[in-house]
Amino acid sequence: MRLSYPGFGKITVDGKTYEHDIVVYPSGRVEKRKKWLSKEKHGTSHRLDPDELGEYLSEEFDVLLVGTGFYGKLSLLPESRELVRGKEVIELPTGEAVERFNELWGKRKVLAIFHVTC
């Protein structure tokens, strides 16, 4: 699996371009991020709420990789960090997170959440 971040508002997974936030599971499954779960509670989808994160914890993983957006606006709430205690957590602007994903994929079990705008 190979990702690229062609620019603000888009992310490409194995040649398929998405124009919305995505979650990539360790199995390679890709789905649209359920950001409304965070937005309903915090008024913004820039705070990754534990209810939202909990939706993605269906597969075993070693590393949670969060692409925080072009400008790094998305942040993991402290309560969300508690859900993944004992796992490695990496938060980077989305362009850098995509590069890290490509380095890690196939070597570690990565659960990745990518915010593609700000």
Which residue segment(s) compose the domain that 103 sits in? 3-114
Q: Report the CATH number at residue 33.
A: 3.40.1230.10
Give the number of other Cβ atoms within 10 Å of residue 110's Cβ.
Answer: 22
Query: 43: helix, coil or strand?
Result: coil
Alpha-carbon 8 to chain mean position: 15
What is the number of domains present in the chain? 1
Per-residue pLDDT of the chain (118 residues; tens, 9 = 90+): 999 999 999 999 999 999 999 999 999 999 999 999 999 999 999 999 999 999 999 999 999 999 999 999 999 999 999 999 999 999 999 999 999 999 999 999 999 999 999 9
Distance of CA 90 to the CA centre of its chain: 10
For 14-101, list the strands marked E by DSSP. 16-18, 22-24, 30-32, 47-48, 63-67, 75-76, 88-92
**Torsion angles phi and psi, residue 114, rounded to 5:** -120, 120
Q: Cα Rg for the chain, rounded, in angstroms?
A: 13
The answer to whether the pTM exceeds 0.95 is yes
Contact 47, 80 (CB under 8 A): no
Contacts of residue 109, defined as CB under 8 A and 6 or more positions apart, other chains included, come to 26, 59, 60, 61, 62, 63
